[in-house]
Chains A and B, each alone.
Chain A
Amino acid sequence: SQQGEEDPQALSIQEGENATMNCSYKTSINNLQWYRQNSGRGLVHLILIRSNEREKHSGRLRVTLDTSKKSSSLLITASRAADTASYFCATDEGQAGTALIFGKGTTLSVSS
């Protein structure tokens, strides 16, 4: 079953703009992760945020986690055409080493 639900399903922006994607989940978690997938390719791990963390940064990425609302957001600042991809959040179900449950994903299109 799918745990996460991303919002929006699709997002089109211009280069230089910021892109925000949201993810909601249903159960308690140990951590939440964000992945990128270029069309037809494998997953690229972007960032992991633990359940006791509220915000995390990595380069142009900023992730927030609100466990009370069971939601997370991924912000990509100063987007580039190369950021065009699908983005997925993924959660465990509160136990380390278990399978990840993926959200439906947000398809981001950045035009130059």
Chain B
Amino acid sequence: GAVVSQHPSWVICKSGTSVKIECRSLDFQATTMFWYRQFPKQSLMLMATSNEGSKATYEQGVEKDKFLINHASLTLSTLTVTSAHPEDSSFYICSAPTPGTTIDEQYFGPGTRLTVT
């Protein structure tokens, strides 16, 4: 099946710094990717939809100037958490829908655990 990777798998940063998380589709092209956030003991919440060649669309309550999304190519989307604060500490997961078929599975990356100190 299709594979989605994320890098890094975990990162610790200091408050006020920025962190970039990469999401790559390894063996297929993804014009759309989704970014989710999961706080401890909670479910996944959709943050934004990343669109290749156009601006990302953000869910209500997600600050677009804080969570910068760039869909640089058909295989890469990046999420940059700017001026990170401890409350941004979370598990960030990306996904991409199955391309070019009628099968509706989504392929999820392994996630990136961000800890802001």
Contacts and interface: CB of A to CB of B under 8 A. Distances in A.
A2 to B, nearest CB: 6
B2 to A, nearest CB: 11
B63 interface: no
Interface residues of A, number: 24
B93 A97 contact: no
Contacts of A33: 105-106
Interface of B: 32, 34, 36, 42-46, 49, 91, 93, 95, 97-98, 102, 104-106, 108-111, 113
Interface of A: 2, 30-31, 33, 40-43, 45, 48, 50, 88, 90, 92, 96-105
28 contacts: A2-B43, A2-B45, A31-B104, A33-B105, A40-B113, A41-B110, A42-B93, A42-B109, A43-B44, A48-B104, A50-B104, A90-B44, A92-B104, A96-B97, A96-B102, A96-B104, A97-B97, A97-B98, A97-B104, A99-B34, A99-B46, A99-B49, A99-B95, A100-B34, A100-B46, A100-B95, A102-B44, A104-B43
